[in-house]
């Protein structure tokens, strides 16, 4: 229909007979009056116009009444009208009489633009590429151009089989709806990569150097098996770079051809290469014109030696290293040029690095742009150089890392260097792109640890644009509740002194497991706050001081763990060790903790938020005893190292350990460090184990036994433990010492997956928790009097013990039997627990999400392992 609307215009003879129109792409023609006659235009009339006035139509032509006309002028008038793209058809009648009638059929007006069939590309991605718009004049050429732009969009997505058909829906009043019917088709993947001419290296080795991969099921997350012309050009450069590192200085790619398969679904890429001869390094050396650079010492430090295989990458790296070395001495614009001489006779390459003389450079000024919210001083105070200082590129890099670590700006921030007002002056510039630093989060989720949870938090990491941190949060889950408020001023009175405070109230329910059933043991309500002070000691070492005041209220459920919870007896309700265990009864009570502590941090990380290189060591100690009810010294030491290895794989090793020394004595069966102050270890610290699944614990096992049917109150026989995990009560009681180590490799993904915030990794975790005194354990065997019901004669008399019930007519139950059980102490061992697995971090719209699948390789009796864990809303 689109093709039929713009028919070529044709003039008519005076008798009205239609003349044959031109073919598509040819200019309209008219039948002229006899060549011997030269006529004069008597009148001009416009017919068929609906929206346009007659004067408007005539203004597009050069025909005027009273002027002479001929074939050439009529043809030109038709061409002029056609060029306006306002008309679908134009003819001129009356050429033989001089009474010209311009018959027009106006192009329709667009009512709306409709897209159909697009699923991979949404309307908001396609609409900006469409030039046609409602209330505009429809033309065939503009529709064709829009089709081409839409197809180009799909080709950028790797969909070369995409087809777009424009359709016209006629409406009243010469209006139309333009419908682009889109058939997206599948992604055009790379079915096969062929390399011709390679003799030294196999196809697999060379394809491994490319960014493009052949289509396979394991590449579905990478997105690099689709055809991309830009990637094809990049792969040619990658091939050349690879051969240049192997000594093939004459290597070239003769041709690179991408052929689309007949079904338009896949591409077959063919490279024709010419490897050439392999070269070695000949004479290598450094010629320096800078007095601080000794040519002999620099030559001795070169990584290449005469006779080594030629490597162009080594030359580039050496130039970079020499420039950085010059920058360290203040030569910002050092000129290091490698001079390479090719010796084809003996296949060697002589390399001479020429370090030209340049003046020592000083920082003239520092220019900051792009910071609409953040104050200049927040950025300037992170610079390790001031205006007037001698240039030092090590300090420039450190400044970049410190600004990046603020977390206020874009990734891959760079500091530029430009020539100043004189040859010995440099202008440092940083163009920042501010990111959102405030978060308002309301999320709900489900955790394998906390079950249902709801979080409401607000945080501003760049409060008022001054780098201040303000946060407040409320967390609620099935087993814990908390409210917190915190504030940090990183530069007090514009000095490098950080101060801050935290206030909190936390309601936490400790628990154990009876099989898969979680049971609350003790409830802990903590109310307190902390004052913080931090100062840098050196560029990489900082000191933090703190004082904390915390009031703990620890209690047990009276209904579950107290004897006589109703207070009907002569004594007040009290914790019953036979129900709760002595170690839990010793825990309850209210205590005030007043503590002072410090932390010393040494860090060379390139980014404190998501580091990819560098290491950090942190030593922390807290002393409790400045008043209050408890006295101890808690010490922790941790360290981590990060490496960015090949192709953005991030490998890290971390280790930490801690110990609590009490200044109280305790008893042989009561540890001087209370249970709520001890360390606990398990998920998520060491994956492959359940929450608090590692370390000292007390298990309560039931006795199974038989009795003589003729004498049920007699001695029990065939006594044994019930080893069914679903019937074992398990309480983790923590430890005073622990260690934890982890090796982890973060795997890079394709750009499309990476934009979703997914970061998979594989890991190995090692750890242990131990060092608590063994609590007093209970053992109520089947023949223990406590395992019998005690019946007393109602009329008075002696008591009777029985496994059965009392005689309701003559006896009263004065003490109920306790189901026989025994407690055992397990897990107090420094032997390592080891697990391996893989997991995925996801910065989802609902908060951070972590899923882990890990298997415990080494464990100790009593440890609680777990294969699959996931958490929402926890830090990782």
Any idea which residue has 């825990």 for tokens? 587
CA dihedral (720, 860, 679, 666) positive or negative: positive
What is the three-class DSSP state of 493?
A: helix
pLDDT for the residue 3: 37
| Angstrom distance (rounded) from CA 870 to CA 682 | 13
Residue 748 has pLDDT above 80, yes or no: yes
pLDDT in tens, 289-298: 887 778 888 8
109, two tokens? 């007006």
pLDDT in tens, 699-747: 989 999 888 878 888 888 889 998 888 888 888 899 999 999 999 999 8
What is the average per-residue pLDDT within 445-465? 74
Q: Are 557 and 585 in contact (CB under 8 A)?
A: no
Question: Which regions of 70-158 does DSSP assign to beta strands (E)?
Answer: 87-93, 99-106, 109-116
What is the average per-residue pLDDT within 606-616? 85
Contacts of 409 (CB under 8 A, 6+ apart): 403, 432, 433, 434, 435
- CA 333 vs CA 330, 353, 430, 460, 714: distances in Å: 9, 16, 18, 40, 99
pLDDT band at 36 (very low <50, low <70, confident <90, very high): very low
| Angstrom distance (rounded) from CA 488 to CA 463 | 10
Which percentage of the chain shows pLDDT scores above 70?
Answer: 88
- 3-state DSSP: the chain helix, strand, coil percent, rounded to 5? 15, 45, 40
Residue 136 has pLDDT above 50, yes or no: yes
| Angstrom distance (rounded) from CA 348 to CA 309 | 9
pLDDT band at 853 (very low <50, low <70, confident <90, very high): very high
pLDDT band at 14 (very low <50, low <70, confident <90, very high): very low
Task: Answer with the residue of higher pLDDT: 875 or 458.
Answer: 458
Residue 26 has pLDDT above 80, yes or no: no
User: If you average pLDDT over every residue of the chain, what do you get?
Assistant: 84
pLDDT for the residue 222: 58
Q: Are 628 and 594 in contact (CB under 8 A)?
A: yes
pLDDT band at 4 (very low <50, low <70, confident <90, very high): very low
What is the average per-residue pLDDT within 403-415? 84
Which percentage of the chain shows pLDDT scores above 90?
Answer: 32
- CA 203 vs CA 207, 238, 812: distances in Å: 6, 14, 92
Burial letters for 598-627: b for 16+ Cβ neighbours within 10 Å, e otherwise? Answer: ebebebbbbbeeebbbbbbbbebebbbbee
pLDDT for the residue 434: 87
251, two tokens? 């290597």
pLDDT band at 845 (very low <50, low <70, confident <90, very high): low
């Amino acid at each position: 229909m689109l093709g039929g609307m713009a028919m070529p215009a044709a003039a008519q003879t005076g008798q009205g007979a239609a003349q044959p129109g031109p073919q598509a792409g040819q200019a309209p023609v008219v039948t002229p009056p006899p060549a011997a006659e030269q006529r004069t235009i008597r009148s001009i009339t416009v017919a068929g116009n609906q929206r346009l006035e007659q004067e408007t139509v005539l203004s597009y032509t050069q025909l005027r009444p009273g002027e002479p006309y001929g074939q050439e002028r009529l043809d030109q008038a038709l061409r002029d009208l056609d060029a306006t793209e306002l008309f679908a058809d134009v003819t001129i009648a009356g050429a033989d009489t001089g009474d010209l009638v311009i018959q027009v059929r106006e192009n329709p007006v667009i009512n709306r633009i409709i897209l159909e069939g697009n699923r991979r590309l949404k309307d908001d991605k396609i609409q900006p590429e469409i030039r046609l718009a409602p209330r505009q004049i429809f033309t065939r050429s503009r529709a064709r151009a829009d089709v081409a732009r839409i197809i180009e969009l799909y080709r950028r997505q790797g969909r070369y089989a995409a087809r777009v058909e424009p359709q016209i829906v006629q409406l009243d009043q010469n209006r139309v709806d333009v419908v682009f019917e889109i058939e997206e088709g599948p992604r055009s993947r790379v079915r096969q990569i062929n390399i011709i001419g390679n003799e030294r290296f196999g196809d697999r080795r060379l394809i491994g150097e490319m960014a493009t991969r052949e289509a396979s099921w394991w590449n579905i997350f990478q997105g690099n098996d689709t055809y991309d012309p830009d990637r094809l050009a990049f792969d040619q450069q990658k091939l050349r770079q690879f051969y240049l590192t192997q000594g093939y200085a004459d290597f070239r790619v003769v041709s690179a051809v991408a052929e689309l398969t007949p079904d338009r679904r896949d591409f077959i890429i063919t490279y024709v290469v010419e490897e050439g001869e392999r070269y070695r390094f000949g004479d290598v050396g450094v010629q320096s014109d800078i007095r601080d650079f000794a040519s002999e010492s620099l030559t001795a430090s070169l990584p290449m030696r005469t006779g080594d295989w030629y490597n162009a990458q080594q030359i580039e790296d050496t130039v970079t290293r020499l420039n950085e070395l010059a920058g360290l001495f203040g030569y910002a614009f050092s000129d290091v040029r490698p001079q390479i001489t090719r010796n084809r006779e003996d296949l060697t390459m002589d390399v001479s690095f020429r370090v030209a003389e340049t003046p020592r450079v000083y920082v003239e000024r520092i220019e900051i742009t792009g910071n609409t919210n953040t104050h200049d001083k927040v950025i300037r105070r992170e610079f390790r150089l001031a205006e007037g200082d001698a240039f030092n590129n090590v300090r420039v890099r450190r400044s970049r890392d410190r600004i990046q670590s603020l977390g206020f700006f874009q990734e891959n921030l760079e500091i530029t260097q430009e020539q100043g007002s004189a040859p010995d002056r440099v202008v440092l510039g940083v163009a920042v792109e501010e990111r959102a630093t405030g978060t308002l989060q309301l999320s709900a989720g489900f955790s394998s640890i906390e079950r249902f949870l709801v979080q409401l938090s607000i945080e501003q990491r760049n409060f008022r644009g001054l780098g201040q941190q303000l946060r407040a949060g409320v967390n609620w889950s099935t087993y814990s509740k908390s409210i917190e408020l915190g504030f940090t001023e990183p530069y007090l009175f514009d000095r490098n002194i950080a101060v801050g405070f935290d206030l909190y109230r936390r309601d936490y329910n400790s628990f154990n497991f009876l099989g898969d059933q979680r049971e609350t043991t003790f409830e802990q309500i903590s109310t307190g706050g902390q004052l913080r002070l931090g100062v840098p000691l050196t560029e990489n070492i900082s000191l933090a001081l703190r004082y904390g005041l915390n009031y703990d209220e620890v209690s047990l459920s009276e209904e579950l763990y107290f004897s006589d919870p109703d207070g009907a007896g002569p004594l007040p309700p009290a914790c019953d060790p036979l129900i709760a265990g002595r170690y839990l009864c010793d825990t309850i009570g209210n205590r005030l903790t007043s503590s002072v502590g410090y932390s010393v941090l040494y860090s060379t990380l390139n980014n404190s938020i998501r580091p990819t290189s560098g290491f950090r060591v942190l030593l922390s100690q807290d002393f409790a005893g400045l008043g209050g009810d408890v006295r101890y010294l808690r010490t922790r030491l941790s360290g981590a190292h990060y490496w960015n290895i090949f192709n953005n794989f991030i490998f890290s090793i971390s280790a930490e350990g801690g110990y609590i020394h009490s200044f109280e004595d305790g008893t042989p069966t009561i540890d001087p460090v209370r249970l709520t102050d001890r360390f606990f270890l398990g998920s998520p610290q060491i994956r492959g184990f359940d929450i608090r699944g590692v370390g000292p614990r007390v298990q309560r096992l039931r006795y199974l036994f038989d009795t003589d049917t003729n004498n049920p109150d007699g001695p029990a026989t065939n006594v044994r433990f019930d080893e069914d995990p679903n019937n074992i009560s398990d309480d983790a009681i923590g430890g005073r010492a622990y260690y934890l180590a982890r090796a982890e490799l973060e795997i890079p993904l394709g750009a499309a997956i990476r934009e979703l915030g997914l970061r998979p990794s594989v890991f190995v975790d090692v750890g242990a928790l131990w060092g608590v005194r063994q609590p007093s354990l209970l053992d109520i065997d089947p023949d223990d009097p406590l395992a019998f019901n005690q019946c007393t004669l109602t009329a008075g008399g002696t008591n009777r013990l029985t496994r059965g019930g009392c005689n309701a007519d003559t006896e009263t139950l004065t003490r109920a039997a306790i189901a026989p059980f025994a407690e055992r102490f397990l897990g107090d061992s420094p032997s390592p627990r080891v697990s391996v697995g893989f997991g995925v971090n996801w910065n989802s719209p609902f908060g951070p999400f972590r899923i882990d699948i890990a298997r415990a390789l080494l464990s100790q009796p009593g440890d609680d392992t777990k294969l699959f864990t996931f958490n929402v809303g926890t830090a990782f």
